[in-house]
Amino acid sequence: MALSDAEIRDEMITILLAGHETTATSMAWVMYRLLQHPEVLETTRTEVASVFGNGRQASLAEQVAELGYLDAVTKETARLHPVVPIVLRYLEAPTRIGDFDLPAGSVAVPCIYLTHRRPDVWPDPETFRPERFIDRRVDPYAFFPFGGGAHHCLGAAFATYEMKIVLARMLARVSLRPNPVHTVRTVRRGITFAPSGGLPVIRAADPCPTELRTELQRARRRPGRLRYQAVKGLVSFGARRIALSLFSSSLPLGRPDPCFFKMSL
């Protein structure tokens, strides 16, 4: 029997919300953690280069299977930043959980976020250490970013595979660094926990537009240096970015708005 229009719409919304938003947010958290930990970033890039850069004729699936360290990085990120922080279960029968007797009809809410930060389960829980997941089977009751049981995330394997491919490609192609004027906070977006501000990043090779702007701001207080700074900006920016550096010097300086530059770039 064919799906009705309403059913097709429901399927599309499921893919969009359950599938796309969760995966994209998880990758943003992985990039956030990698940029915070240069030594982890370096190890990950070395692994990616050795898997994709060795000229072997392996299938993509085989190559992804070799990304053991990147796999551990995504898991350790999901431990500290589970994008879905809770799951819910409606109790059809009275249930005892720990010291609590819960009547039928209750809703039990296992909290992924808090479980992943329990010091008795995860020693030194706030520390980002991908090695926790290397050569180790993890208890599904201690680590469940995709939920568990009969309603375990339907797209977990697909999302994990997709994330590793996209992240590996990104790491192989660009060097990024965090935006120094953006402080990342965890914000709730619908049902997900996401990094605030869309995680603005800067290509490592580029001078940071905001840093440049601070330079200009300083120079403006000493007018003799302004022209020098503007010229320096033009020289250090490539041809494509000349318009940007000219534009930035005409902006109301001092208004911290890195997203503006993100869009201009």
Closer CB to ligand HEM, residue 89 or residue 220?
Answer: 89
The CB-of-38 to ligand HEM minimum distance in angstroms stands at: 24
Closer CB to ligand HEM, residue 145 or residue 178?
Answer: 145
Closer CB to ligand HEM, residue 84 or residue 219?
Answer: 84
- Residue 76 tokens read as 């350790």
Q: How many Å apart are CA 46 and CA 40, to the nearest integer?
A: 10
The CB-of-192 to ligand HEM minimum distance in angstroms stands at: 8
Closer CB to ligand HEM, residue 164 or residue 213?
Answer: 164
Helix axes 22-36 and 156-173, enclosed angle (nearest 10): 40
Closer CB to ligand HEM, residue 26 or residue 44?
Answer: 26
The CB-of-213 to ligand HEM minimum distance in angstroms stands at: 35
CB hemisphere CA count around 204 (13 angstroms): 9
The CB-of-194 to ligand HEM minimum distance in angstroms stands at: 12
Q: How many Å apart are CA 243 and CA 265, to the nearest integer?
A: 10
Are the beta carbons of 28 and 194 closer than 8 angstroms? yes
> Comparing C-alpha atoms, which of 185, 163, 190 is closest to residue 31?
163
3-state secondary structure at position 187: strand
The CB-of-29 to ligand HEM minimum distance in angstroms stands at: 10
Sites of contact with ligand HEM (CB under 6 A)? 14-15, 18-19, 22-23, 26, 83-84, 87, 145-148, 151-155, 158-159
